[in-house]
């Protein structure tokens, strides 16, 4: 009659999407338990017309659950995902804790569903920019064979959580009222700005976000030798990420074949009629299941290359939706 599902991090931006999306997609839930930190335990939240009491997420809270969706910090996932798996549940983890673990599948269901079925109790949900980028890159890879890829992102503030969305809104409201802006989430003002800084910096000069895109892309597409270079940038957009991609392929490219490959792939919409001002835009993809691919053209700097543009909802395909799609793929 349904599955017993737990959500760790239920009070966050992604956690709330978990709850509403499962309902919206009719995921068969017989029991839903919402977990968060001790600080939030006891709080009541309304979701899908019901009232839920938040329980503290602990190592012993997962008994009897079939699936546990995690959207908390990496350290919480590291501690609690194995406990959920040991309790017999499958943990679908949205943090980066297990993504590169060779014993944990990293899954975009349209790309590598078989990896999800081959799990040891933990499945990793990819980084948001990675999942969205691959929804454009993978269908083209299947036709032409990906060899090298450059990606520059235009990332929404939703990727930094609900407080960041609030901060962008507050800054713009302050600006409109001619008042000083405040910043807490980001080290710099995000309104009217672009921050080439998503996640923390490594000694190499890359950010962790940039390396996630590079490494996770190789793992999900099973292309260990693919060359990838990414630049991740935060822009004053609320909740959809956009990615500008230049890709080099093994085989000669053809624009009509490329468009056909995107059109035939599940989970993506081809929006590519520039003469009519039609291309994917972040504003149009908030709250959309599918990602959008457009601006497909022959790359000017590669012989067998394509330049293209992918957009997707960071909270959905970039996080909550993909995790639920992983569960859907397991119960099929």
**What residues are annotated to the active site?**
128, 241
Residue whose CB is less far from a copy of itself, 15 or 305: 305
Q: How far apart are CA 280 and CA 312, in angstroms?
A: 9
* Residue 302 binds to a copy of itself (criterion: CB under 8 A): yes
Q: How far apart are CA 132 and CA 243, in angstroms?
A: 8
Q: Give the one residue of 88, 283, 287, 331 binding a copy of itself; rule: CB under 8 A.
A: 283
Nearest to 161 by CA among 140, 186, 129: 186
Which residues, listed in sequence order, are joined to residue 310 by a DSSP beta bridge? 243, 293
Q: Give the one residue of 188, 263, 264, 331 binding a copy of itself; rule: CB under 8 A.
A: 188
Query: H-type helices in 107-161, by residue range?
Result: 113-117, 128-144
Tokens 């760790």 correspond to what residue?
Answer: 8
Q: Which two tokens stand for residue 163?
A: 């407080």
Q: Is 224 exposed, middle or buried (0-12, 13-18, 19+ CB in 10 A)?
A: exposed
* Residue 41 binds to a copy of itself (criterion: CB under 8 A): no
| Contact set for a copy of itself, span 230-269 (CB under 8 A) | 230-231, 233, 235-238, 242, 244, 246, 255
314 vs 13, 189, 242, 311, CA distance in Å?
11, 21, 9, 9
Residue whose CB is less far from a copy of itself, 107 or 296: 296
Tokens 């609900």 correspond to what residue?
Answer: 162
Find out whether 182 and 160 touch, Cβ atoms under 8 Å. no
Q: Give the one residue of 206, 249, 265, 316 binding a copy of itself; rule: CB under 8 A.
A: 206
Q: Which two tokens stand for residue 294?
A: 């457009």
Residue whose CB is less far from a copy of itself, 109 or 305: 305
Q: Give the one residue of 93, 214, 216, 313 binding a copy of itself; rule: CB under 8 A.
A: 214
Residue whose CB is less far from a copy of itself, 66 or 248: 248
Residue whose CB is less far from a copy of itself, 41 or 307: 307
* Residue 296 binds to a copy of itself (criterion: CB under 8 A): yes
Find out whether 285 and 312 touch, Cβ atoms under 8 Å. yes
Find out whether 159 and 126 touch, Cβ atoms under 8 Å. no
- Write out the H or E segment, with its range, that includes residue 215: helix 208-221
* Number of residues near a copy of itself (by CB under 8 A): 59
Which one of the spans 4-12, 99-107, 123-131, 293-301 is the region binding a copy of itself (CB under 8 A)?
293-301
CB of 294 to a copy of itself, least distance (A): 7
**Would you give the binding string for a copy of itself spanning residues 125-154, x where CB under 8 A is met?**
-----------------------xxx-x-x
Q: How far apart are CA 40 and CA 45, in angstroms?
A: 10
* Residue 275 binds to a copy of itself (criterion: CB under 8 A): yes
Which residues, listed in sequence order, are joined to residue 294 by a DSSP beta bridge? 309
CB of 296 to a copy of itself, least distance (A): 7
Instruction: Catalog residues that contact a copy of itself under the rule CB under 8 A.
Output: 148-150, 152, 154, 172-173, 175-177, 187-189, 192-197, 201, 204-207, 214, 227-231, 233, 235-238, 242, 244, 246, 255, 274-275, 277, 279-283, 294-302, 305, 307, 309
């Amino acid at each position: 009659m349904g599955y017993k599902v737990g959500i760790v991090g239920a009070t966050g931006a992604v956690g709330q999407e978990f709850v509403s999306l499962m309902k919206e997609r009719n995921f068969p839930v017989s029991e839903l338990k919402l977990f968060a930190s001790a600080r939030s335990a006891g709080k009541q939240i309304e979701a899908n017309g019901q009232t839920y009491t938040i329980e503290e997420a602990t190592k012993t809270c997962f008994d009897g659950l079939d699936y546990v969706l995690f959207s908390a910090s990496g350290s919480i996932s590291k501690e609690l995902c194995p406990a959920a798996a040991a309790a017999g549940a499958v943990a679908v983890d949205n943090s980066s804790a297990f993504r590169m673990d060779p014993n944990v599948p990293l899954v975009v269901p349209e790309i590598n569903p078989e990896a999800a079925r081959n799990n040891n109790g933990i499945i990793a949900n990819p980084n948001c920019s990675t999942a969205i980028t691959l929804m454009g890159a993978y269908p083209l890879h299947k036709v032409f064979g990906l060899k090298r890829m450059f990606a520059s992102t235009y990332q929404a503030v939703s990727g930094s959580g609900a407080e960041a969305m609030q901060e962008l809104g507050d800054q713009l409201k302050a600006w409109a009222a001619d008042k000083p802006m405040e910043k807490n989430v980001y080290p710099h003002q995000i309104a009217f700005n672009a921050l080439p800084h998503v996640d923390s910096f490594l000694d190499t000069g890359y950010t962790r976000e940039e390396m996630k895109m590079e490494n996770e892309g190789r793992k999900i597409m099973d292309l260990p030798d693919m060359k990838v270079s990414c630049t991740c940038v935060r822009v004053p957009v609320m909740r959809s990420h956009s990615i500008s991609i230049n890709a080099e392929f093994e085989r000669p490219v053809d624009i009509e074949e490329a468009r056909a490959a995107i059109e035939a792939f599940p989970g993506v919409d081809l929006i590519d009629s520039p003469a009519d001002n039609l291309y994917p835009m972040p504003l149009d993809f908030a709250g959309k299941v599918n990602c959008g691919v457009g601006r497909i053209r022959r790359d000017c700097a590669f012989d067998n290359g394509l330049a293209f543009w992918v957009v997707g909802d960071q909270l959905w395909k970039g996080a909550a939706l993909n995790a639920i799609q992983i569960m859907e793929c397991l119960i099929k």
